[in-house]
Amino acid sequence: MRLTALFPQFRGLRLDCLRTEPTGLTLVAATTAKTARCPLCHHHGHRVHSRYQRRVTDLPCAGRAVALLIHARRFFCLTADCPRKTFRERLPALVAPSARRSNGLRAALEAIGFALGGEAGSRLASILGMPTSADTLLRLVCAAPPATIEPPQVLGIDDWAWKKATRYGTILCDLERHRVIDLLPNRSADTVAAWLRAHPSITLITRDRSDLYADGATRGAPDAVQVADRFHLLKNLGDRLSHNILGMGLLLRWQGNDRSCRCPISTIAFPSRKNDRHVLRRRHHLLANGTANGRWVSSG
């Protein structure tokens, strides 16, 4: 069986020997093509200028790191008007020009970097036989070409924190594909409206119940349907129930201490916001004392 039947990326190479080293496996190979194409003028050259060795790290084999030691050549370009007089032969199926990692290894490290980030990705790559640093993974992630994004139709809008309680931006998510599509630098109706006008494919917008995003969505996509997302509906419902149940608990506790005094529910003003702790403390004080000068005291 030919080597290229199992490893098609080795097309154009001849395997000379295999060396086992403490750091892994080293494959010594040589190029076999009789001619090479100039990268500028794309004409084939057959005259060899010189030879050199190129070391390329490849995907691991049985958990061991693999390196290719390739004996390659430099050719003369025989085209008179070509500015490049010599050029190195290339192996596009195996490795990019001037790269030290094969295409397969680079793709694997990119996938690990996107999934786990730097430090965690570096630890996993070392276990899998692809030792690398966290900084290298982050560089590969930053250098990766942006993915092709189809025009979104169902958009989710919410805020995100540059610095909590200090500075916020806006995050935009494609809810059909479950992915973030853009981050806006601030939480502004004008910025949201401008982004929506630049993306007329939006037909449905889910957002929280703030007036800011409602204004931006109305101005930027007047024909889009706006709905409150499930998270904020459930959160608002939970907050309201917790506030009311807390107030009812204080009332029941007071009635258990003094059943002879009647206290209508309307006399207790429940807090309207989660941070109204001073209101809760005041209600607790009134319920604990019950009466003042023989009658019920209401501060509602």
Q: What is the pLDDT of residues 153-211, one digit of tens each?
A: 999 999 999 988 889 999 999 999 888 899 999 999 999 999 999 999 999 999 888 88
Predicted confidence at residue 293, as pLDDT, reads: 38
Residue 19 · residue 25 · CB < 8 Å: yes
Per-residue pLDDT tens digits for 110-125: 999 999 989 999 999 9
Query: What percent of the chain has a predicted confidence (pLDDT) above 70?
Result: 80
Radius of gyration of the chain (CA): 34
Closest by alpha carbon to 95, among 56, 67, 69? 56
Q: How confident is the model over 35-57, as a mean pLDDT?
A: 92
Q: How confident is the model over 267-287, as a mean pLDDT?
A: 54
Predicted confidence at residue 158, as pLDDT, reads: 92
List, as own/partner pairs, every contact residues 84-91 make where C-beta atoms lie below 8 angstroms and the sequence separation is at least 24, other chains included: 84/38, 84/39, 84/40, 84/41, 86/49, 87/36, 87/38, 87/39, 87/40, 87/45, 88/36, 88/52, 89/31, 89/33, 89/36, 90/36, 90/37, 90/39, 91/12, 91/13, 91/31
Predicted confidence at residue 242, as pLDDT, reads: 81
State the pLDDT confidence band at 60, using cuts at 50, 70 and 90. Answer: very high
Predicted confidence at residue 280, as pLDDT, reads: 58
